[in-house]
Amino acid sequence: METTTNPRVSKRAFISRVATRSGLPIRVVNKVYESLLGELRGAVSCGETVVLTSFGRFYRQDHKGHKVRFGKSDVDDYVVLKFSASSSFNRRLGGEDEISPETYGMIEDADEFENVVEDRELRAAS
């Protein structure tokens, strides 16, 4: 049985790649990165769902605490960050060359419909 490890991209390397792709200075990209994560953390902490069209959505999920069989302390209630990738993003993971322009347009239309439905559900829940 052969095991493979997935290569990891560090924060520094990721920011460097984005700076190269965008043509922006690394310091600017780093500031945008930190601001983006801070805003995401703040919104999700307040119970908001952050929807990034054609990428996915971030939301918080509350978990109930539970008793521990061994040990002295129980696990208190806790919150975790969840991410759900959009269907178009998942399709593009296999390679953009596999999707024809006509199919890509239909996927974008379906994603837009999905976003409208999610927005209506969020407004109804508020």
Edge to edge, what strands does the sheet with 78-85 contain? 50-52, 56-63, 78-85
Query: What amino acid is encoded at 101 in this protein?
Result: P
Q: Give the C-alpha separation, 39 to 36, whole Å.
A: 5
**What is the value of pTM for the model shown?**
0.61
pLDDT digit string, tens, across residues 60-84: 998 888 878 777 788 788 888 999 9
pLDDT digit string, tens, across residues 99-122: 455 555 555 555 565 666 566 656
E strand map for 39-104:
50-52, 56-63, 78-85
Residue 45 CB neighbour total at 10 angstroms = 11
Residue 74 CB neighbour total at 10 angstroms = 9
CB 68 within 8 A of CB 38: no
Q: Is the pLDDT of residue 97 over 50?
A: no
Q: Give the C-alpha separation, 8 to 76, whole Å.
A: 32
What is residue 47's predicted lDDT score, i.e. its pLDDT? Answer: 92
Residue tagged 């690394």 (tokens): 26
